Amino acid sequence: MSKEVMMSIKRTPRFLIAALALIVIVAFTGCEKLSLKKLSANYHFGKANQLFKDNKFSKAIAEYKSTIENNPDLKDAYRLMGESYKSLYVPAKDTPENKEKAAEALKALQKAYELDPNNRDVIYSLGDMYDKLRDFDNAEKLYLRIIDLDPGNMNNYYVIAEFYKRYAGDKDKASLGLKDKVEGMYLRRIETDPENVQGYAYMANYFDQLTTADNKDKFDNALEYHMKRMKIQPDSAEIYYTIGVNRFNKVFQLQNFLSDPEKMACAGEAEKALKKAIEIDPNFPDSYAYMKILYINISAKLYPEKEGRYQEEANRYGDKFQEARKRQLDRMKLEKELKKTG
């Protein structure tokens, strides 16, 4: 040690040296405590996550609480604790215990959102909780925020479309135009990626699943999007099969509202589409099945003079269905065995 340093130390008051030493000790002890608390938080967080995976949500909650006590800045702990409470919550069950679970779930998820307002998982979790509580306005705001943050994720549009569909039957939501909002979400999905057939398929499926009583145009609306799918994938047996089913369902479900010429036109379109599906993929059994029921339930009645021929053809398609179904099951069995050996 140099003479200058030695002289400097000698000139430093003893009480100041002691104070500096105390500061160093306290700082080191504080850092050590902080490190231990974070280690403890990580330990509890790991236990909680495993309990969560094992569906032991009550025990997971206790561990998430210990996690947060040791590290209140651990964002995921709040979200997963909220998810744990949500998993224990039973929608529409009116008991104090159940209401408490709902309140705790909201509290934890709101805290997670406060800490991480741009986290899509947190936003979805909180929106889902509001949805379970039938809080439409708050749920909608959060779901729409997910699209703002991630407009290229096609799945987001489906999530929100399904959300609107769940409330479409509520009388108190009649003024919100939820049917238009559902269709709007599917259209936004299509506009985001117009060359992807999946968007058109979801829109077509939406129309196909509407109740017939209030939506007699649903079959033609669905057909419009099936045809758009076909333009993109003209060699898809599945699309032709779906068109055939759509035309069959229209004439079968609306037979009391259609004239005979309209029924004949629909039956002809169904037959043509199903035969095209069989031509493209003769191993798909469902096309044969629908040919059989089309001939028995529609064609034989529309053309009584040809009933015998249609019955004979229906039986032939029934046999082909059984053959194709057997091949399909044999193939599935072989694939399953190969997976086991592989």
Q: How confident is the prediction along the chain (342 residues), in pLDDT tens digits per residue?
A: 444 434 443 444 454 334 333 333 333 344 445 578 888 899 999 999 999 999 999 999 999 999 999 999 999 999 999 999 999 999 989 999 999 999 999 999 999 999 999 999 999 999 999 999 999 999 999 999 999 999 988 889 999 999 999 998 788 887 888 989 999 999 999 999 999 999 999 999 999 888 887 788 999 999 999 999 999 999 999 999 999 999 999 999 999 999 999 999 999 999 999 999 999 999 999 999 999 999 999 999 999 999 999 999 999 999 999 999 999 998 988 888 888 776
Q: How far, in Å, CA of 177 to CA of 186, rounded?
A: 15
pTM, full prediction: 0.74
Residue 302, token pair as written in the block: 């529309």
Q: Scanning the structure block, which residue is given the tokens 């036109």?
A: 265
Q: Which CATH superfamily is domain 32-150 in?
A: Tetratricopeptide repeat domain (1.25.40.10)
- The phi, psi pair for 258, rounded to 5°, reads -100, 145
Residue type, 322: Q
Q: How far, in Å, CA of 305 to CA of 5, rounded?
A: 119
CATH 1.25.40.10 domain extents, the chain: 32-150
CATH top class, domain 235-342: mainly alpha
Q: Is 144 exposed, middle or buried (0-12, 13-18, 19+ CB in 10 A)?
A: middle
Q: How far, in Å, CA of 78 to CA of 48, rounded?
A: 12
Return the C-alpha torsion angle 77, 80, 81, 84, nearest 10.
Answer: -160
